[in-house]
Amino acid sequence: MSFYVTRMTDVIGDRWTVEYEGRGPDGFLIWVSRGFDAPAGRLEVGSSRELAPELRAAVIADAREWLADFVSEDEERLLAERERIAGRPDEEDWAPPGLSRFELRVDGPAEEYAARLRTVLAAAVDRAVAGAGIDPAVVPGPLPAWFAAACANDGSGVPGFARRGAERFRAAGHGVGWSAEGWLERFEIDCPFRTWSWWDLTGGDDRTTLSLWVDAAGEDFFACDELRWAAYTAGAQAVTGPALDRLDGWRGEPSV
């Protein structure tokens, strides 16, 4: 008896496909996958001896209902990061055993610096959430004007703190800077280069030195120039690190 494979595909929106894999007399296996880059994330949802049009319609209806509430691990991480940028993390939900810590020497009041840094990172993550279609309630706003001007690097409309920060970034040997488009791409959910996620920004009694904490899966060496660019252009005089630290180090400092 001959063996053969035939496939048919139905598209659900711009994120998912239903794939019908026919294997000769054994009928069809029915899979749901994310986009067209299966088999990553491909789930078997059923089988059928025949693939009548009414069955395909029923499968699509069921898949739409199921996928409406589906959140992948990457999506969960991005949503959790969004919440941490907005305020101090809740350890009751989850906390890593250790974090990667940067020390920042800041230009001006710590609260103003923190507001700038959190705002620009929130804008990037909001765009990533909206771009991936994770939460339709998230409507991303524009990048802060000071950051967009620093990225444009055309000398116009750049506040002093952002201009000085960009100069310090370059002087520290981290490159010529980032375009807004290239910087935002690092935050997209499928970008393989960003292996860190925001944890918190804290400060002790010395409000000119802050600690920026990220979760980098226990690593102290990872690509993070997009984070340094944001930290410098928000007004940092110096950015050192990262270095590994225990969670107790973060617990001992109030968030800014």
Final residue in a domain of this structure, among 20, 43, 68: 68
Q: Give the pLDDT confidence score for residue 5 in this predicted structure.
A: 44
Report cis status (omega within 30 of 0) of the bond before 192: no
In a domain, 256, yes or no: no
Residues 27 and 137 in one domain: no
Residues 160 and 228 in one domain: yes
In a domain, 144, yes or no: yes
Residues 104 and 83 in one domain: yes
Residues 35 and 97 in one domain: no
- Give the three-class secondary structure for 193: coil
Within 10 angstroms of residue 218's Cβ, the number of other Cβ atoms is 11
Residues 52 and 105 in one domain: no
Total domains present in the chain = 2
- Rounded to whole angstroms, the Cα distance separating 177 from 171 reads 11
**How far apart, in Å, are the Cα atoms of 47 and each of 56, 133, 191?**
11, 29, 34
Reported in sequence order, the residue ranges of 151-208 that DSSP labels E, i.e. its strands, are: 197-203
In a domain, 106, yes or no: yes
| pLDDT tens track for 27-76 | 667 766 665 444 445 555 565 655 566 766 766 666 666 655 666 788 88
- Rounded to whole angstroms, the Cα distance separating 220 from 169 reads 20
Residues 31 and 99 in one domain: no
Residues 50 and 146 in one domain: no
222-243 b/e with 16+ CB inside 10 Å = b? eebbbbbbbbbbbbbbebebbe
- Rounded to whole angstroms, the Cα distance separating 229 from 254 reads 24
Q: Are the C-beta atoms of residues 30 and 20 closer than 8 Å to each other? A: yes
- Rounded to whole angstroms, the Cα distance separating 114 from 202 reads 9
Final residue in a domain of this structure, among 50, 68, 86: 68
In a domain, 114, yes or no: yes
In a domain, 103, yes or no: yes
Task: Look up residue 37 and give its amino acid.
Answer: D
pLDDT tens sequence for the chain (256 residues): 233 345 666 666 656 677 766 655 556 677 666 654 444 455 555 656 555 667 667 666 666 666 556 667 888 899 999 999 999 998 766 788 899 999 999 978 999 999 999 999 999 999 999 988 777 788 888 999 999 999 998 878 899 999 999 999 999 999 999 999 999 999 999 899 999 999 999 997 777 899 999 999 999 999 999 999 999 999 999 999 999 999 999 999 999 9
Final residue in a domain of this structure, among 68, 93, 118: 68
Residues 89 and 59 in one domain: no
Pick from 253, 205, 238: nearest CA to 106: 238
Residues 81 and 58 in one domain: no
In a domain, 136, yes or no: yes
In a domain, 107, yes or no: yes
In a domain, 61, yes or no: yes
The domain in which residue 9 lies consists of 5-68
What 3 state SS string does 31-78 have? Answer: EEEECCCCCCCCEEEEEECCCCHHHHHHHHHHHHHHHHCCCCHHHHHH
Residues 138 and 207 in one domain: yes
Residues 118 and 139 in one domain: yes
pTM over 0.95: no
Residues 96 and 43 in one domain: no
